[in-house]
Amino acid sequence: MTIINGMLYFAFPDLFREGNMGGLMVGVPPIVTDGGDDDALKDDDTSIHIEAIYRFQVNDNISLTPGLFVITNPNHDDVNDTIWVSTFRTQFRF
């Protein structure tokens, strides 16, 4: 059996303003590419995970990070609808 996965992450420090950061992630969740003796285990379709974030550095102690991610063909099955998720993170540093 062969299972693969991978992700590329691109970070853009100081994007638009010093201390802020943009990020873009693109990857493939673990997928069975070879089922060995049982071809029924092989995933016929491929999911893609795409995520984008932007961290606003409000001050030295507070940052706000909205984000959005999309998963196409969830569970490596093209009959599943694409999933869209928005996120919002607040970080306090003491």
**Is residue 59's pLDDT more than 80?**
yes
**Which residue range forms the structural domain that includes residue 27?**
2-92
Task: Give pLDDT tens digits for 29-41.
Answer: 999 887 777 777 7
Cα–Cα nearest to 53, from 5, 7, 20, 94: 20
Q: Which stretch of DSSP H or E encloses residue 68?
A: strand 62-72
Task: Give pLDDT tens digits for 66-91.
Answer: 999 999 999 999 999 999 999 999 99
Number of separate domains in the chain:
1
Cα–Cα nearest to 50, from 89, 11, 7, 79: 7
Q: In the prediction, which pLDDT does 44 show?
A: 82
Task: Give pLDDT tens digits for 38-53.
Answer: 777 788 889 999 999 9
